[in-house]
Every structure is written in C-alpha cells, then in structure tokens.
Amino acid sequence: MITKKILMISVIPLVALLAIFASWLPADAAQNTLYPAKLGTILSGKQGVVLSSIPNKVKYVAFDTVTPPLPARYLQGVEIAYRGPTVEISFLNNKQEAINYSGATAQVFFNISVPEKNMWDQGGTDALAIWHYNEDARQWEMSPTVLVAEKSNNGQYDRLAAFVFQNGIYMLGKMSFDPVFPLWFKPYNVGDPNNTGPVLLQSEFFSAKAGTFEFGKQGVVLNTVPDGVRYVSFFKVQPPLPPRFHQGVDIAYRGPVVDVTFMNVKKESVESGELNAQVYFNISTPEKKMWDEGGAQAISIWHYNSEDQKWESCPTYYVSEKLNNGKYDRLTCYTSQSGIYILGKMEFDPFFPEWFKPYDKGVFAN
C-alpha cells in the first residue's frame, strides 16, 4: 500500500531467516484496495476473490496484488515457478484490524489462459496449483485447487480456485521443495545477485556451551545453557531489512543486523526461560559518543518480536571492554529469545495503521 514518508529509509526479515530472510528483486508496485465486505466477486486484473457468506464482524476485505518474486523469507527450501501475480487477502473488522479465521466463506481465484489450462490438463495440481503461505508454520501449503470452467461465460478465461481459510498470501504456480533443506538456514541473498536487498555477510552454526562467541564486531555470550538448548545459529546481514520490518518505523542502523536462533538437538528453534544469554555489538568512537550524550534514547539494541510483528527495545547496557581487547567497548542486552537484533535508533510513526503493508516501498525485495 502507499508508503508514508516515515518509511522512506535510505537504508528485513530470524532474520532474513527471514529476508528477511527476506528479499529481493525489483518489482512493480503493488495494486492494493480496501473493499467493503459484501457478497459477490472482487476482481483485480486476472485475480480475485468470491465472497459467498460474510459474518457480521467482517466489514472490509483488503485485496493486494504484488508482482513476484516474493521476498527471500518465502523461498526457504523451495523454488517457485510463478504463473502470475501474488495476492494477499485479509478480512478486517470495522476498525480495519485483521481477523484471521474470520468465518467468511470465500474463494480466491486466478483466471488462466491456454498455457495454464494445458498444464492443468496434463498434470493437475502436480503441475499447477494455488498455494498459501502459513505464517504460523512458516511454510507453503497447497490449497485444494479446482478448475472452474468460466470461459463460456466471460469469453476469455477459465479459472483455478481454492477456498480461503486464513488471511495471507496466495499464489498460482508450482513448488519444488528441497527435501534436505536445513530448517535453520536463512537464504538472505536468494534471488537476483544484483539485487539491493539484504546480503548475508556471515553465517555460523555452533554447539551451545558457556562462553563468548564473537564474529567481527557482533557476538553472543552464553552465560547459562539449559539441557534443551544444543545449538546456536548466528547470521549477520547487511541492512536494510525488508520493508515488512520497516512498517511504521524509521530505522537508523549502526552496523549489520544479526539473527540469533537457539536450537534443540533436532535443530529446531526453541525458547527456554532458563537460558541466560547476551547479544552484543562492539562500538567505535561515534557510537560511544552517541551513548554518552543520549544513552538508550540515542542508540540501543532492538529485537523484532515476530509473533506480534513489532520492534521491542532490548534493555541495553554499556560494557567497558576497550582496555581488555584494545579496540572496542560494547553495548549488550540480556535475552533468552531467538530472533533479529539490531543496533541503532528507532523513530516510530504514531499514526501508522497496523494493517498497512508497504509492498511498494522502494525496491519490492527490500
């Protein structure tokens, strides 16, 4: 949707386990419209949604189309052969807040031409299907796809359709999954090698044991490690992050973004209140001056809460280390959470609507 000035940042997602994991090739601006919820068909180009029943709580439908490719966080372990624009559908209440599992009966559809019809006739859903990205599981799931013979009615297109059970991203195409893709891998620089999106600077994977693990000017200190935490992945990414991390906030980065994931023996992300860890950033004279003059108001560590999709301050402390290492002091924060951490300053837009999705902010992939 149309980007506010606050989002025009010169500088994305576990990070770009995310993006961020995420993201990134030039793409056309998104077409996005907010519709009153009423029975009938919403059509945007060759894509649309049919509303058959609508609960009273659903007052609006947000229907966005985006030219692929999607950001890299959607490409983990999968190759997508797109057959048209990607769509995002959200059901909203009277405050324009998203309602997932809204209870509405709806179908998303993609009108298809002769090439897609031939693919369907020859291979069915093995060749062409509608896919939905499950944000909770962070994986693609095939939506039961059916052919709807509409060409005789509209004179141009048949269509492939599927019921919409959740808000989210839907696309028409074919998925090829990598069966040995490691879950902890984060393809930050997936896509066009010439893109301007996040570039993976460094990746590390190590056994979780008490000690300090430093990678350049950033690192992790593990003070207490419970039995359930066996491994740590550490990714360092060149900013900026993808635009979903910039919604309603202006980020002044003071170095690379880091993404830390604490894992169990199966290399699955795990949270443990018994884990005592620190994420730190070594700082030079400019950052030290910012801290001395303004403290955490001027520069601090921030953590991205992926569940609530917002940035949260990670209580930041100054640690005098220059005498020990001869080069740097550091800013550090205590944590037991996996996720994206940055050092910098945040400026929030108090009027930013939570449902806003800045697909067309700058280069799509960012």
Asked whether the predicted pLDDT for residue 54 surpasses 70, the reply is yes
Location of structure tokens 């999954």: 177
What percent of the chain is modeled with pLDDT above 70?
A: 79
Lowest mean pLDDT among 60-64, 71-75, 279-283, 311-315: 71-75
Distances (CA, A) of 246 to 122, 175, 183, 349, 353: 43, 29, 25, 11, 13
Tokens of 322: 């220059």
Amino acid identity for residue 248 in this structure: G
Lowest mean pLDDT among 17-31, 48-62, 218-232: 17-31
Q: How far apart are CA 337 and CA 261, in angstroms?
A: 8
Sheet holding 47-53, edge to edge: 40-44, 47-53, 105-112, 158-163, 146-148
Pairing of strands 211-215, 310-314: unpaired
Q: What would the mean pLDDT of 277-306 be, rounded to a whole number?
A: 91
Q: Which residues contact 58 (CB under 8 A, 6 or more apart)?
A: 37, 91, 92, 93, 99, 102, 103, 104
The full DSSP string for 266-310 is TS-B---TT-EEEEEEEE-HHHHHHHHHHGGGTSEEEEEETTTTE
The pLDDT value recorded for residue 205 is: 84
Domains 27-177 and 199-348 share a fold: yes
Q: What would the mean pLDDT of 256-272 be, rounded to a whole number?
A: 87
Query: CB-based burial of residue 161 (10 Å sphere; 0-12 exposed, 13-18 middle, 19+ buried)?
Result: buried
The pLDDT value recorded for residue 9 is: 30
Asked whether the predicted pLDDT for residue 356 surpasses 50, the reply is no
Asked whether the predicted pLDDT for residue 271 surpasses 90, the reply is no
Model confidence over 148-187: pLDDT tens digits?
A: 987 777 778 899 999 988 899 999 998 887 554 333 333 3
Structure confidence at residue 3 as a pLDDT band (50, 70, 90): very low
Lowest mean pLDDT among 136-140, 157-161, 186-190: 186-190
Mean pLDDT of all residues belonging to the chain: 77
The pLDDT value recorded for residue 278 is: 94
The pLDDT value recorded for residue 366 is: 26
Domain layout of the chain by residue ranges: 27-177, 199-348
Asked whether the predicted pLDDT for residue 10 surpasses 60, the reply is no
The pLDDT value recorded for residue 350 is: 59
Class of domain 27-177: mainly beta
The pLDDT value recorded for residue 332 is: 95
Model confidence over 329-349: pLDDT tens digits?
A: 999 999 989 999 999 988 876
The pLDDT value recorded for residue 353 is: 45
Which residue in 271, 282, 302, 266 sits closest to 221, CA to CA? 282
Model confidence over 73-86: pLDDT tens digits?
A: 787 667 788 888 89
What percent of the chain is modeled with pLDDT above 90?
A: 25
Asked whether the predicted pLDDT for residue 221 surpasses 90, the reply is yes
Q: What would the mean pLDDT of 5-14 be, rounded to a whole number?
A: 32
Amino acid identity for residue 302 in this structure: W
| Cis previous bond, 69, omega within 30 | yes
User: Which pTM value belongs to this model?
Assistant: 0.47
pLDDT, greater one: 355 or 269? 269
Q: How far apart are CA 15 and CA 188, in angstroms?
A: 8
Does domain 199-348 correspond to CATH entry 1.20.120? no
The pLDDT value recorded for residue 192 is: 37
